[in-house]
Amino acid sequence: MNPRRGRPVIGRWARALAVGGVVVACSLLASSCATIPTGSPAEFEQGVQGDPLRKPYVRVIPMPPRPEWKPEQVLMGFLSAMAGVDDPGWSVARSYLTAEAAATWRPNVRVTVYDKQAIPSGSTPAPDAKEATVTLRGTTTGAINDEGKYTAEPQPSGRPFSQDFKLVREPQGWRIAEVPHGLLLTEADVRRSYRTVKLYYLDHSKRGLVVDEVRIPLDPRTDFAESIVKRLLEGPTATLREAVGNALPAGTRLRDIWTEDDKIIVDVNEAAANAISTGAGGGDVDAMAAQIGWTLNQLTERWEVEVRINGEPFYAGTGGVLRVGFDRYGHFDPWLTGGPKDTYVLKDGALSSVGAEGKLTPVPGEAGRTGGKHTEPAMSGLGNRAVAALNEPGDGVDVAFLTEGGQWRRWITGKALTAPSWDRYDRVWSVERLGDRSSRVFRSDGKQQVRVAAPSLEPVGVKALRMARDGVRVAAVVEDDAGTHVRVGVVLERGEPQIANLQTLVTASEGEEIKDIAWRDATTLLILTSSNSGRELTALSVTDGTTEPLKADSRIASITAFEDRVLAGAEGSKTDKDKREILYWDAKGTWQQLTKSHTTSPTLPLG
């Protein structure tokens, strides 16, 4: 045992256990013996080890096959054994297979998540039968690939599936002779056996962090914090791999991880020291600590991070020991810690900020003058505060700085441009729509208008383009011969800029219209749709496809959001169609009036 090793990295739960000592440990042990009724091919009990997420996990204790079991019972036992966290090598699951099938089965390649109603079915074999086939039918609700990336199937129906299993009779009983690679787990199995984890990598400027979300299996042999850091070192998933960087270079290996005096000690090999010393691979001290700190922050609540090399303190030049507190790594990326949520609206053509009780204050400069002819305003981020908007013909995107004397200046010129969208680097994006199935993407920093290659967007009609606050992800509403879709991709900055890896997340059903989209945070996209049944607002995770419905007011026409701040532009009522207003989503999950006067086009920074 490492003589320097302290408490395992499990946050407040670990500290409570240390205070309680043996009494708490005995209490945990005494409460871990409850099992489900017998008759199941597996038993369940509370795990006696402390889960790094500060709650005990449920152990699945798989049972080996019994000689008298029928083929369907053997299959059910095999399915239960695949969910055994305490059997990470699946030795019990392999005991349900023939020797040849056990030797060739590869459980690690993927996980198919199916609905709990899946029921095996098959005809009862004759007493002297040597072979049998059992069919597992159900509904696939999602999948986890070998990178840990979860992808949800469209809900609520999911996708029906049917899988045949061939069994043979052996001297010790029925065994499965043909089995597909990967695991078949129910949704409950996944909740017990996996944890959703956010991994943090660098944007192209190495000034911001980009979230990559994966599901990591629990392993009772390994502290979960160790599992997280090891997965971080493996690098991002395929969709982000070309778009992000890593301050922890190739060859960096985790030796150990523990806590001392509310510090996280991360002990890595000498590859990390070489990167810090030479700058190879973008190895920056703050960036490295930010990646590790934010990734472990899910467990340890803003503790200080100290990086050691081969067990010894590492001295980063004149900065002393490589130790970084949350006040440094936590503010490495200001968009992760909140940032401004200033609200702006249009009233009589003037851009105004919204203060307490809905009070409107025109912004300084030309943008705040009444009678303006600009629409679809978008606010910049943390740099020079500015607004971008479409001019009245829609053939230009103009920008005005919110300063006394600030004037509108043309940044992007094109035909039938989409509403502008800022990125975190103070650049404005818009799409020129040349026809129903022809588009060109542009961005500008005010000095130069640049065409951005977007092979998947150029042959379709782009209705909207929104840049995410992480500076990497981009969402678009597009129309093609197959319908209207919401697609999400990434911006590549190596060489000429390019939008790549576009994936379709949502396709409008017949009679449905996608009205608007807005980034709530770096991984959640709000989608506003309209149909004969009314308006629907859905929060969709772009990392795994899971959705959450939000109540939508029937008058909502546009949306903007930033974390817990969700705003909507509402159309006039049947009795007063000209009266338009701004609504906000309150803590109780209802829409409330934000401004009392006639206002339109709410916008938030980078919203």
Query: What pLDDT does 260 receive?
Result: 83
Q: Where is 29: in which H helix or E strand? A: helix 11-30
First-to-last CA distance in the chain?
51
For 580-597, write each residue's pLDDT tens digit: 889 999 988 899 999 877
pLDDT at 184: 95
DSSP 8-class letter at 366: G
Please give the backbone phi and psi of residue 132, each rounded to the nearest 5 degrees, phi first: -155, 155
Say which DSSP state 50 is in: P
Strand partners, 585: 591
How many angstroms separate the Cα of 215 from the Cα of each of 50, 226, 299?
Answer: 19, 14, 15
Residue 464's DSSP bridge partners are: 477
Q: How confident is the model at residue 313 (pLDDT cuts 50, 70, 90)?
A: confident
User: 24 pLDDT exceeds 60?
Assistant: no
User: To the nearest whole number, what is the mean pLDDT of the chain?
Assistant: 84
Q: Give the CATH number of domain 223-332; options: 1.10.238, 1.10.10, 3.30.300, 3.30.110.
A: 3.30.300
583: number of Cβ within 10 Å: 21
Cα separation of 145 and 573, whole Å? 48
pLDDT in tens, 485-528: 999 999 999 889 999 999 999 999 999 999 999 999 989 999 99
Contacts of 212 (CB under 8 A, 6+ apart): 198, 199, 200, 201, 236, 237, 240, 244, 543
- 344 near 353, Cβ under 8 Å? yes
Residues of each domain in the chain carrying CATH 3.30.300 = 223-332
Collect contacts of 510-513 with beta carbons under 8 A, ≥24 apart. Answer: 513/484
Say if residue 255 is exposed, middle or buried (CB neighbours under 10 Å; 0-12, 13-18, 19+).
middle
Which pLDDT score is estimated for 383?
66
Q: What's the CA gap between 199 and 262, in Å, rounded? A: 22
Secondary structure string (H, E, C) spanning 66-130: CCCCCHHHHHHHHHHHCCCCCCCCCHHHHCCECHHHHHHCCCCCEEEEECCCCEEECCCCCCCCC
Torsion angle of the four alpha carbons 596, 597, 600, 606, in this order, in degrees rounded to the nearest 10: -60
Backbone angles phi, psi at 23, to 5 degrees: -60, -45
List, in sequence order, the alpha helices (H) in 195-329. 224-234, 270-278, 285-300, 326-329
pLDDT digits (tens, 9 = 90+) for 412-421: 999 999 999 9
Radius of gyration of the chain from its Cα atoms, rounded to whole angstroms: 28
Q: Band of the pLDDT at 602, cuts 50, 70, 90?
A: very high
pLDDT exceeds 90 at position 216: yes
Question: Packing angle between helix 224-234 and helix 285-300, nearest 10 degrees?
Answer: 140
For 25-80, what is each residue's pLDDT tens digit? 222 222 222 222 223 354 434 443 443 333 455 666 788 999 999 999 999 999 99
Span of 10-14, 136-140, 184-188 with lowest mean pLDDT:
10-14
Tell me if 58 sits within 8 A of 45, measured CB to CB: yes
For residue 573, name the pLDDT band (cuts at 50, 70, 90).
low
Determine which helix (DSSP H) or strand (DSSP E) holds 22, and give its type and residue range: helix 11-30
149/158 Cα distance (integer angstroms): 18
Ranges in the chain annotated CATH 2.120.10.30: 344-603
Report pLDDT for 273: 75
Name the more confident of 576 and 432: 432
- Residue with the bigger pLDDT between 20 and 87: it is 87
Q: What is the pLDDT of residues 236-257, one digit of tens each?
A: 999 999 999 998 888 899 999 9
Q: Is the peptide bond before 156 cis (omega within 30 degrees of 0)?
A: yes
What CA–CA distances, in Å, run from 607 to 200, 224, 309, 564? 22, 35, 42, 13
Instruction: Give dist(CA 75, CA 121) in Å, integer.
Output: 10
**Alpha carbon of 428 to those of 105, 192, 235: distances in Å?**
51, 44, 30
- Given a contact cutoff of 8 angstroms between Cβ atoms, the answer to whether 408 and 367 are in contact is yes
Q: How far apart are CA 149 and CA 546, in angstroms?
A: 12
- Asked whether the predicted pLDDT for residue 577 surpasses 70, the reply is no
Q: Which of 196, 201, 203, 266 is nearest to 229 (CA)?
A: 266
Helices assigned H by DSSP within 241-337: 270-278, 285-300, 326-329
Fold classification of 344-603 is Neuraminidase (2.120.10)
| Residue 420: DSSP 8-state | P
Least confident of 137-151, 182-196, 311-325, 552-566: 311-325
pLDDT in tens, 269-287: 988 876 565 544 434 677 8
Residue type, 63: M
pTM of the model: 0.86
